[in-house]
Structures are given as structure tokens and as C-alpha cells.
């Protein structure tokens, strides 16, 4: 697993075009730090529900709140922080080797995830204690 830290996490301004008709956000591979291989979204998360609860060995992710808001808890095994996402033109870049948990979804929220790899179960670390051992 990559020895990344929370300093590698970034909030990114997604290019936005706004006029009297509304706003348009465009995401293309040349505006990412990785090539997108998979796109999915989370929605209808029940009150009090959580998503994530894992780290990736190689996968990069960009999280975008298309609607509503949610918190993203992040840990590198030594430091932790929580990022509040609520603007569809602000994206959170999560690099490999970072534990993430998504919670406090507002009603009607939608979290778009752009991933650098297709789904591969072997890339996941789903146990926090194993994550901590891998980071040390």
C-alpha cells in the first residue's frame, strides 16, 4: 500500500460554467490526476447510515456531492480529519492508502464517485486494524 498521508488529500474546484440558464460542470480525464475507469453514485442512504469504511491499496477516488451534503472522515493511520462536502463544483480527491467513511447524509443527497480503477476486491482493506498494520 502507498504510504500516503492526509496532506495528499485535496479539495478540487471542478470547472463550472454559469449563465442565466444555470450551471454546467464538466469533468474530463485531462482535469483529473488519474484516468477514470469507473463512475458510480450513492443515494437514498438511510438516516444515520454510513458508506465506505475501507481504504484502497491503489485506487484513487474523486467524491462530488451532486445534491445535498455529507461528511467524509479520513485517516492515514496517524492523523484524521473530517471534510464536509456540500457544493457540486467542489470535489474531494482521496488517494490510495487513506481510510474513508462517509456519513451524515442530508435528505436527498447524492454522492458521485469517479474511480481510477474498475472494481477489484483485492484492492480493498476493509478492517481498520489491518489498515493500521499495513500503514506501519
- Known catalytic residues are 54
Three-state DSSP string of the chain: CCCCCHHHCEEEECCEEEECCEEEECCCHHHCCCCCCEEEEEECCCCCCCEEEEEECCCCEEEEEEECCEEEEEECCCCEEEEEECCCCEEEEECCCCEEEEECCCCCCEEEEEECCCCCHHHEECCHHHHHHHHC
Q: How far apart are CA 77 and CA 91, in angstroms?
A: 23
Amino acid at each position: 500500500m502507498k504510504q500516503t498521508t492526509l496532506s495528499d488529500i485535496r479539495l478540487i474546484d471542478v470547472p463550472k460554467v454559469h449563465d442565466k440558464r444555470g450551471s454546467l460542470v464538466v469533468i474530463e480525464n485531462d482535469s483529473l490526476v488519474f484516468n477514470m475507469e469507473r463512475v458510480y453514485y450513492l443515494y437514498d442512504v438511510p438516516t444515520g447510515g454510513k458508506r465506505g469504511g475501507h481504504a484502497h491499496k491503489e485506487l484513487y477516488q474523486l467524491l462530488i456531492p451532486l445534491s445535498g451534503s455529507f461528511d467524509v472522515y479520513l485517516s492515514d493511520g496517524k492523523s484524521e480529519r473530517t471534510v464536509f462536502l456540500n457544493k457540486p463544483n467542489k470535489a474531494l480527491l482521496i488517494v490510495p492508502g487513506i481510510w474513508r467513511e462517509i456519513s451524515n447524509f442530508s435528505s436527498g443527497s447524492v454522492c458521485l464517485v469517479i474511480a481510477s480503477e474498475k472494481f477489484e476486491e483485492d484492492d480493498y482493506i476493509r478492517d481498520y486494524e489491518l489498515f493500521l498494520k499495513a500503514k506501519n
